[in-house]
Amino acid sequence: MAIIASCSCPSSPPFSLTSSSLIQRNPNPNLFLQFHLRSRKRRVASFIVLASSSSSDENRSNTSTRLVTFLGKGGSGKTTSSVIAAQVYANSGLKTCLVIHSQDTTAEYLMGCKIGTSPTVCKNNLSAVRLETTKMLLEPLNQLKQADARIKLTQGVLEGVVGEELGVLPGMDSILTTLALNKLVGFLGRTVTKSSLPQEKYDIIIYDGISNEETLRMIGMTERARWYVKYLRNLAEKTDIGRLTAPSLLRLVEEAMKLNGTGGLRLNGKMSAEIWDDIDRMLEQVSAFFLEPSKFGCYLVLNPESPTSVKSALRLWGCAVQSGAHVSGAFGCSSLQSHTESAKMIGNNFSPLPFAFIPNLATYSPTDLDGVVLKEDVEGLLFAMANSRELNSSVKFDHAKKSVTLFMPGFDKSEIKLYQYRGGSELLVEAGDQRRVIRLPSRIQGKVGGAKFLDKSLVITMR
């Protein structure tokens, strides 16, 4: 292993962080709803068409559910944005569930609704649920016990494990949250049976995560897991202990996945190579989910009055790209009465992302939510998906110049490292505590010749 290139290009000019409502209380909420009814219906219709375009089955059980999340510095309005987005989607007639993964009670205060560990209906089309990892730990353990009872792998030892005695270990939050969200969204796939479908089928799931880092890990987890699977496959196929234990372990996983409502690996009669190929395809499917705008929306949240909040949002933008997700837009959460200066600053630093302003609801009472008028660009940003993929294309290849352009906002020259293994067919990019592999087209494969920054992008020349 060797470092082929470490970017040493000139640093970008410093950001201009100039502090500067489009948001007003509505004296007549009903008038606002009537005024926007037609445009809202058009947006909802467009959303439903985009979200279900990948499936020919018109059955509601197969209709895509969109997952939406927000990234931002603590105190910048992440939970506020989640609550407002939930209100917008629900008021538009979409069945929405707000998923909170923390013990913070801000969402309860803003919504005026007690949030428990099972979905609670807060208003028409809007439910909320709080994820608690200690409780989520019990379900997969019970599923493993049921699977073990069928195949007798541990000869009853697993049945003796008392789940309530087990605590949460580092790393469990991301894994168990992914399983919980899969039950609501289905990005791992589901078996087509009534028992495997959730009791409620939602159009929108809004996830307010425990932290930015955990959310980014969850987004990039399956793509990173493919690396581990590749090496585990080598162990399973090329070592004696692997050939001995892998079939039984895979069968246990298969049975547990069936009980969880996931499609499973369908091992019946398959050879080892086919099973590992199926695992890789399933992980690839989940990775593709986070790059599909009609299925996943990620928004940055920042306080335009705070330079540190702006810098953090820029950094999280780059980290999201590194994790394998597209970013749909940015929200400025502020109590300012004029956003002229802020709009100019956000436009300069976050271009080409679309952005909108939302109010800081920290001082509002829960009953004020329905009386706050949002500018139409807020709803437009939450529903916009048609051009999202083009705006967030993070990798571009230029065959004529034999170059690769990586969109990497929020990073400077000292934080990006490039590695190459297996000849010149791949490029490993390390930045922001994230790594991703870029597979190079055959026409531009080779060694890294040089790299430079141009407008939030790293341009790499191959030789």
Confidence of residue 429 (pLDDT cuts 50, 70, 90): very high
Answer yes or no: CATH 3.50.30.10 is held by domain 16-233+285-392.
no
% of residues, the chain, pLDDT over 70: 75
**Span 103-150, pLDDT tens digits:** 888 888 888 889 999 999 998 999 999 999 888 888 888 888 888 888
How far apart, in whole angstroms, are the C-alpha atoms of residue 313 and residue 409?
A: 10
- Radius of gyration over alpha carbons of the chain, in Å? 24
* Domain 16-233+285-392 identical in fold to domain 394-462: no
Asked whether 391 and 381 are in contact (CB, 8 A), the reply is no
Residue scoring higher pLDDT (178 or 266)? 178
Q: Please indicate whether residue 427 or residue 64 has the higher confidence score (pLDDT).
A: 427
The whole-number average pLDDT for the span 319-330 is 90
Round to whole Å and give the CA distance between 222 and 356. 31
Sign of CA dihedral 48, 53, 55, 56: positive
Q: Where are the beta strands (DSSP E) in 47-203?
A: 66-71, 96-100, 120-123, 126-130
pLDDT at 66: 93
Coil, helix or strand for 128? strand
pLDDT for the residue numbered 36? 42
Could you tell me if 125 and 95 are in contact, meaning their C-beta atoms sit under 8 angstroms apart?
yes
Mean pLDDT value of segment 402-426: 88
pLDDT of the residue at 40: 53
Q: Residue 35: what pLDDT?
A: 32
| CA 242/CA 48 separation, integer angstroms | 46
Q: What do you get for the CA distance between the two ends of the chain, in Å?
A: 19
Give the whole-angstrom CA distance, residue 108 versus residue 92: 21
Give one DSSP letter per residue of 323-351, joined into a string. Answer: HT----EEEEEE--S--HHHHHHHHHHHT
Q: What tokens appear for 163 in the block?
A: 């789940």
What is the maximum alpha-carbon separation in the chain? Answer: 74
| Residue where the block lists tokens 């997969």 | 140
Q: What share of the chain is helix, strand, coil (3-state, %, to 5)?
A: 45, 20, 35
In the structure, what pLDDT confidence band is assigned to residue 374 with cuts at 50, 70 and 90?
Answer: confident
Task: Please report, as a single letter, which amino acid is at residue 178.
Answer: T
> What b-and-e string marks burial along 339-367, b requiring 16 or more CB atoms within 10 Å of the CB?
beebbebbeebbeebbbbbbbbbeebeee
The domain locations on the chain are 16-233+285-392, 394-462
Residue 159 predicted with pLDDT over 50: yes
Report CA 132 to chain centroid distance, whole Å.
19
pLDDT digits (tens, 9 = 90+) for 285-313: 888 888 888 899 999 999 988 899 999 99
- Model's pTM, two decimal places? 0.79
What residue spans of 239-271 are helical by DSSP H?
240-259
Q: Which fold has domain 394-462?
A: Immunoglobulin-like (2.60.40)
